[in-house]
Amino acid sequence: MQFFLQQCLIGITNGALVALVALGYTMVYGIIRLINFAHGDLIMLGACLALTLVSTLGLAAAGPAAAWGGVAALVLLCGLFCGGLNVAVDRIVYRPLRSAPKLAPLVSAIGVSFIFMNVGLFWLGPADRSFPELLPATNLLPGDGLQFTAKDLLVLVVVVPLMAGLSFLVKSTRLGKAMRAVSQDPVAAALVGIDVDRVIAATFFVGGFLGGAASVIYGLYINTIGFQMGFQNGLYAFTAAVLGGIGSIPGAVVGGLVIGLVRALSSAYVGERWTGAIVFAILIVILVFRPEGLLGRGTREKV
């Protein structure tokens, strides 16, 4: 029983991280129907920056209080970096293709993903790099039972407020309302005076910011980054977004948690080497029987 609970705990923590990345995918898709293949690699670049900052600021040698403060600073800085980079890419690559057929931005996103990967290759080198352990690895729970360390706590402490903040942004602010409007019908939104391009840029920024936060958490939680990490993580996060219903924010969260749990439990009970196949098999099955995802809304195609 304890083993099962431990795996669930691991699954939920992992899933929260996946959900954070999935939010980036879902936001961009929600607003311009683009699968942003480059999101995973954007996060990789954020992690590169985080590693560089940690080395230059010497955070590894600092005490615990400074460590938490440093983490907050990292989240902010990497968030801004990734948000800004995302906006730049939108402006340069995707904006000219707003009215182009769907294939063009999709393939461009793949191209951007390759470019990011190459930058990461130069930044990190071909081998994986170790991320310093800023937080102690001691178990926070008493006894020798369930393992829950400061790192696991970090994931939840960062992810939950960010998600809450995002919900607030989308539901209760003007920008959020504008985002929802553009997502429903860009032409109508323009007609009522919304600056569509700016709203889209803001969406990219928010998605990128979340990605930057995710990159810091990734580095601190997994402690290894490499120039190819974007693809694998992006794939899982993207699956989570689709599973939950792409375009739906709560869907991304649910999808992320489900994927995290599936990965942990399948690794525990089926075998580590089947995990990848199981996750994608589930994705295929869900898409076949419920294409709009768990929480998505079905759309009718008008003639």
Site residues (CB under 8 A) for other proteins, limited to 171-210: none
CB of 242 to other proteins, least distance (A): 6
- Alpha helices, DSSP H only, in the chain? 2-32, 39-57, 64-89, 103-124, 150-172, 174-184, 186-191, 196-222, 229-244, 249-269, 275-289
Cβ atoms of 283 and 290 within 8 Å: the answer is no
- Is residue 97 involved in binding other proteins (CB under 8 A)? yes
By CB under 8 A, which span of 51-59, 162-170, 199-207, 263-271 interacts with other proteins?
A: 263-271
Nearer to other proteins, 183 or 233 (CB): 233
112 binds other proteins (CB under 8 A): yes
Q: Which residue among 7, 183, 203, 248 contacts other proteins (CB under 8 A)?
A: 7
Residues 120-179 that bind other proteins (CB under 8 A): 121-122, 125-130, 133, 137, 139, 147, 149, 151
Q: How far is the CB of 49 from other proteins (least distance, A)?
A: 18
Report the amino acid identity of residue 12: I
Binding string, residues 269-288; x marks residues near other proteins by CB under 8 A: --xxxxxxx--xx-xx--xx
Q: Which helix (H) or strand (E) holds 130?
A: strand 129-130
Rule CB under 8 A: choose which of 58, 69, 111, 165 binds other proteins: 111
- DSSP letters along 66-88, please? HHHHHHHHHHHHHHHHHHHHHHH
Indicate which single residue of 55, 69, 72, 114 sits in contact with other proteins (rule: CB under 8 A): 114
- Cα 20–chain centre separation: 4
> What is residue 92's DSSP assignment?
I
Per CB under 8 A, 26 contacts other proteins: no
Q: Tell me if 16 sits within 8 A of 256, measured CB to CB.
A: yes
Taking the CA atoms of 266, 267, 268 and 273 in sequence, report the sign of the dihedral they define.
positive
Could you say which of 58, 64, 102, 171 contacts other proteins (CB under 8 A)? 102
**Contact predicate 53/192, CB 8 Å:** no
Q: Does 263 bind other proteins (CB under 8 A)?
A: yes
Nearer to other proteins among residue 137 and residue 160 (C-beta)? 137
Using CB under 8 A as the binding rule, the residues of this chain from 27 to 66 that contact other proteins are: 33, 35
DSSP state string for 32-44? H----TTHHHHHH
Span of 9-17, 47-55, 63-71, 159-167 interacting with other proteins by CB under 8 A: 9-17
